[in-house]
Amino acid sequence: MSKKKIVFSGVQPTGNLHLGNYLGALKNFVSLQEEMNCIYCVVDLHAITTFQNPKDLKKNVLETLASFLATGLNPDKSIIFNQSSVSGHAELAWILNCVSRIGWLNRMTQFKDKAGSDKEKASVGLYIYPNLMAADILLYKATHVPVGADQKQHLELSRDIAQKFNSDFDCKDFFPLPEPLIPKNVSRVMSLRDGNKKMSKSEESDYSRINLKDSADEITKKIKKAKSASDQIPDNLKDLEKKPEALNLMHIYSEISKISLEKVLNEMSGKEYSHLKSKLTDLLIDEITPVGKEINKLLNDKSHLELILKKGKEKANIIAEENLKIIREKVGLI
Ligand code: TYM
C-alpha cells in the first residue's frame, strides 16, 4: 500500500441495506476510495453474534457485496472481502479480548439495546463484538473509519484498546488511534415512522425505511406515508428541529440534492410538507432505483461476485499476516 492513510469499514450482511447505510456509510466509502487506501469488509463474523440462518447468511454476504459495488465501490481501487475469509480477524480479536476491559464493554450502549431486557440470554459474541470491531480496524492499522453516528462509541473503544496495547507492550504509536469519519447531517438517518429512532434493518415495519432495492412505487408510497408535521414548513432551523420527522426528511433532501439546509428552508418555507415529499420522492427515485437495479443485475452472476471476494481476501490476507507477525512477536507468542 503506497499512500499513508488507511481506511477500514464494515457492513453486516443481515439483509436489505437501507438509506441510512447508504447516506451514513456507503457514499462516504465511495468518495474515500479516490484519496486513500481503502479496505471494505462484509462483516459476517459480526452478523453471527445473533443467530443467522446459514442459507440466508450466504445469500446476504453476496447481496451486501453487490450493494457495495452498485453504490460505486471498485475492487480495482479498494480491497473488498468478507471478514471470515481472513482468519487474522478472529486471531487478533482474541488477543484484544485480553487487552480490553470488562468495565469498558459494560458501557457499550448498543449491547444494552440489542441484548434487550434478558441480557443473560445474549450470546457472548454479542457482548465482545466491539473487541472484534477493534480487531478489524487494527489488523490493517487503519487510520480512518467511515461510519454512522451509532458506531461512534465502538470507535472510541477501539482507540482505548489501541492505546492500551501500545502501552502494555511498550510500543508507542504501533497501532494508530483510528479516527471516525462521520457525516455531518446524515450521521443518523431516522426512521420514517418515528423521528427519534434511527432507520434500521431490524425495525418491524418496512415503511420505516427506504431499502436500496425498493422500486419507484415503494419509495413513493413510503415517503407519502412518512410522518412529517401538520403545519407548514418553517423558515428557520430552530422551529424545524422541534419536529424530528420533518427535520429528518429535510436532512435527507438536503444531502441528496446537495443544497444546504438553510437554502432548502429559504426555498420551501410556508409551503405544505407535501411539497417537500413530492420533491424528495423524485430525488430518491433518481438516486436509489438505479442502485437497486444494479444490485439485482450483479446478483445474477454469483461467480463474478465470489471471484471479487476471493481476490479481495488474498490482498487483505497479505496485509493482515504481515501485521499479525509483528503483533504475535510483541505479545510474546511463538
Ligand atoms: P451496520 O452493519 O449496522 O451498519 C453499516 C454502516 O451503516 C451505518 N448506519 C447508519 N448511518 C446513518 N443512519 C442510520 N440510520 C444508519 N444505520 C446504519 C453504520 O453506522 C455503519 O457505518 N459494527 C458495524 C460494522 C463493523 C465495522 C467494523 C464498522 C464491523 N467492524 C469496523 C467500522 C469498522 C455495524 O454493525 O454496522
290-315 pLDDT, tens digit per residue, is: 999 999 999 999 999 999 999 999 99
For residues 181 and 136, membership in a common domain is answered with yes
13 pocket-lining for ligand 1 (C-beta < 6 Å): no
For residues 170 and 218, membership in a common domain is answered with no
pLDDT of 2 above 70: no
CATH code assigned at 246: 1.10.240.10
Whether 284 maps to a domain, the answer reads: yes
- Gap from CA of 152 to ligand 1 centroid (Å): 10
For residues 173 and 247, membership in a common domain is answered with no
For residues 42 and 156, membership in a common domain is answered with yes
Whether 201 maps to a domain, the answer reads: no
Of 26, 135, 146, the residue nearest 89 (C-alpha): 135
147 pocket-lining for ligand 1 (C-beta < 6 Å): yes
Quick one: average pLDDT of 209-237? Answer: 96
The contacts of residue 285 (CB under 8 Å, 6+ apart) are 216, 219, 220
Q: How much is the pLDDT for 59? A: 97
For residues 181 and 226, membership in a common domain is answered with no
For residues 24 and 60, membership in a common domain is answered with yes
Q: Which atom of ligand 1 is nearest to the CA of 14?
A: 2
The three three-digit cell numbers of residue 329, written as one number: 512477536
Query: 5, 58, 77, 114: which one is catalytic?
Result: 114
What phi and psi values does residue 140 have, to the nearest 5 degrees?
-105, 10
Sign (positive or negative) of CA dihedral 296, 9, 11, 195: negative
Query: 201, 221, 315, 330: which one is catalytic?
Result: 201
Sequence letter at residue 195: G
- Gap from CA of 235 to ligand 1 centroid (Å): 33
Q: How much is the pLDDT for 3? A: 55
For 228-271, write each residue's pLDDT tens digit.
988 899 999 999 999 999 999 999 999 999 999 999 999 999 99
Whether 275 maps to a domain, the answer reads: yes
Whether 71 maps to a domain, the answer reads: yes
Residue 325 annotated among the catalytic residues of the structure? no
Whether 200 maps to a domain, the answer reads: no
Provide the domain limits for residue 136.
Answer: 6-187+301-331
CATH code assigned at 144: 3.40.50.620
Q: Which atom of ligand 1 is nearest to the CA of 46?
A: 30
Residue 293 annotated among the catalytic residues of the structure? no
For residues 324 and 263, membership in a common domain is answered with no
For residues 119 and 263, membership in a common domain is answered with no
189 pocket-lining for ligand 1 (C-beta < 6 Å): yes
The whole-angstrom separation of Cα 75 and Cα 304 is 12
Quick one: average pLDDT of 142-164? Answer: 98
Tally of structural domains, the chain: 2
Q: Which atom of ligand 1 is nearest to the CA of 199?
A: 15
- Gap from CA of 214 to ligand 1 centroid (Å): 20
The whole-angstrom separation of Cα 133 and Cα 311 is 22
For residues 308 and 170, membership in a common domain is answered with yes
- Cα–Cα distances (Å) from 6 to 75, 83, 179, 311, in that order, read 16, 17, 10, 19
Residue whose entry in the numeric block shows the C-alpha cell 464494515: 10
Sign (positive or negative) of CA dihedral 257, 216, 42, 317: negative
Q: How many CA atoms lie within 13 A of 137 on its CB side?
A: 32
For residues 121 and 153, membership in a common domain is answered with yes
Whether 315 maps to a domain, the answer reads: yes
Q: How much is the pLDDT for 171? A: 98
Whether 174 maps to a domain, the answer reads: yes
Contact assessment for residue 73 and residue 294, using Cβ atoms and an 8 Å cutoff: no
For residues 258 and 128, membership in a common domain is answered with no
145 pocket-lining for ligand 1 (C-beta < 6 Å): yes
Q: How much is the pLDDT for 208? A: 98
Whether 61 maps to a domain, the answer reads: yes
- Nearest protein Cα to ligand 1, atom 7: 21
For residues 129 and 143, membership in a common domain is answered with yes
For 176-196, write each residue's pLDDT tens digit.
999 999 999 899 999 999 999
Residue 58 annotated among the catalytic residues of the structure? no
Within the chain, residue ranges assigned H as helices are 19-21, 27-32, 44-47, 54-70, 88-97, 102-106, 109-115, 124-139, 152-168, 216-225, 237-240, 244-257, 261-268, 273-299, 302-331
- Gap from CA of 37 to ligand 1 centroid (Å): 19
Query: b/e map of 191-215 (b: 16 or more CB within 10 Å)?
Result: bbbbbeebbeeebeeebbbbbbbbe
Q: Is 289 helix (H, G, I), strand (E, B) or coil?
A: helix
